[in-house]
Amino acid sequence: MRVIVPVKRVIDYNVKIRVKPDGTGVDTANVKMSMNPFDEIAVEEAVRLKEAGKVQEVIAVSVGPAQAQETIRTALAIGADRGILVLEEGVEPLAVAKLLKALVEKESVELVILGKQAIDDDSNQTGQMLAALLGWGQATFASKVELGEGKITVTREVDGGLETDELKLPAIVTTDLRLNEPRYASLPNIMKAKKKQLDTVSAADLGVDVSPRLTTLKVVEPPKRGAGVKVASVQELVDKLKNEAKVI
């Protein structure tokens, strides 16, 4: 079985983002970029399935600028076999899903594991959209995945607990935090990753229209939260919570 894992290059989760003063977006110049954390979990899961002998090939795919090659190399260092970069910038989730659909069909893929959302635009859409476009089953927010014969059983983190669903293969899985803990790529594996195959294609090559549907009119900072007061004792704290804030 062949698996695709999409990986997105985003601002590192530890970086405090800066909204551009002109309100056109978030400043990404000279900012540390990393693989979207949920995608890292997706790569790890796919590689574990390969190590367990259930998957033959793991293909890491990114839709983004040329620098997204680094993100794909990170996936290759974790253990993905080869990479494909779709060289397009600012592509919306629906169009990303269309690009992935084209690649899934071209590469005869039976399972796509995606991060549940990217921590930049927080859309949480691509996996579900890809499932709809392919007419496949979907299991979002996975915390446990069992790949069987012709089916996949997924435990999902839902509001208030866990839900288990069984999907026919081929299928889509999106990852939640608890699914696994991604490994650190070892230096030899990082070196090896540099030699792995990485192809670049365009949306036109795949016959997909990626024109945006949304226009971002402005991006602003949320209302600032000011520092409050320091209290001197537990008694004072409890008094303030009871009588001033009225929250206990």
Site for other proteins in 133-152 (CB under 8 A): 133, 135-141
By CB under 8 A, how many residues form the interface with other proteins? 82
Q: Which of 28, 69, 128, 189 binds other proteins (CB under 8 A)?
A: 128
Q: Which of 33, 163, 183, 196 binds other proteins (CB under 8 A)?
A: 163
Instruction: For other proteins, give the closer residue by CB, 17 or 66.
Output: 17
Residue 9: is it exposed, middle or buried by C-beta count within 10 angstroms (0-12/13-18/19+)? Answer: buried
Beta-ladder partners of 9:
35
Does an H or E element contain 107, and which? none
Q: Please give the residues from 30 up to 59 whose contact with other proteins meets the rule CB under 8 A.
A: 37-38
Q: Please give the residues from 198 up to 227 whose contact with other proteins meets the rule CB under 8 A.
A: 212-222, 225, 227
Q: In 52-182, which ranges are continuous DSSP H helix? A: 68-78, 93-106, 126-134
Q: Which amino acid is at 72?
A: I
* Whole-number Å distance between alpha carbons of 100 and 205: 13
Structure tokens at 92: 């919306």
Q: Which of 56, 123, 186, 202 binds other proteins (CB under 8 A)?
A: 123
**Sole window of 1-9, 46-54, 78-86, 118-126 interacting with other proteins (rule: CB under 8 A):** 118-126
Residue 163: is it exposed, middle or buried by C-beta count within 10 angstroms (0-12/13-18/19+)? Answer: middle
Q: Which of 167, 173, 193, 206 binds other proteins (CB under 8 A)?
A: 167
Instruction: For other proteins, give the closer residue by CB, 62 or 140.
Output: 140
Tell whether residue 1 is a contact of other proteins (CB under 8 A). no
Instruction: For other proteins, give the closer residue by CB, 22 or 159.
Output: 159
C-alpha neighbours within 13 Å on the C-beta side of residue 35:
29
Tell whether residue 92 is a contact of other proteins (CB under 8 A). yes
Tell whether residue 122 is a contact of other proteins (CB under 8 A). yes
Instruction: For other proteins, give the closer residue by CB, 193 or 210.
Output: 210
Instruction: For other proteins, give the closer residue by CB, 195 or 225.
Output: 225
Residue 62: is it exposed, middle or buried by C-beta count within 10 angstroms (0-12/13-18/19+)? Answer: buried
